[in-house]
Amino acid sequence: MVAFLAPLVVRLIPVVRVPSPLLEIVAGVVLGPSVLAVVEVDAPVEVLSPLGLAFLLFLAGLEIEVQRLRGRPLQLAVGGYVLPFALAIGVGLALSAAGFTSAPLLVAIVLSATAPGLVVPVLKDAGQIESARGPEHQARRDEHPP
């Protein structure tokens, strides 16, 4: 129901300026066992949750144009992954030191691997997925049309 309603809320209520995947995640946390406990984790949810994550990452992977990742774009992409991964390792080590996890590397991999699945839909909703230079270039182009 959340997956059905989130895109509708984003499109029908222009005041809500968040991407639908973000709204889906927030609604899932609020309705899940951590907050309101409206939704329980049962066998179907346990089976479908990794499947949903795999599908999300698969769709994000389809958006990547490997042919365009050469030279400078490849260097930027690698740098754009190494820095967040290093930060994720820091978070994993901090969680390990606090006693929340015994696998800090796994935490780092999960944090960094799920990010493209969230970032790609956001860029797509904002119309930036096709932009060669990113949001700044698009904003300047919108302000000063050719």
Q: pLDDT, tens digit, for every residue of 123-146?
A: 666 666 666 655 444 455 555 555
| Model pLDDT for residues 67-100, shown as the tens digit of each residue | 776 777 777 777 878 888 899 999 999 999 999 9
SS (H, E, C) the chain: CHHHHHHHHHHHCCCCCCCHHHHHHHHHHHHCCCCCCCCCCCHHHHHHHHHHHHHHHHHHHHCCCHHHCCCHHHHHHHHHHHHHHHHHHHHHHHHHHCCCCCCHHHHHHHHHHHHHHHHHHHHHHCCCCCCCCCHHHHHHHHHCCC
51 C-beta neighbours (distance < 10 Å), count: 9
pTM beyond 0.75:
no
> What pLDDT band is residue 59 in, cutting at 50, 70 and 90?
confident
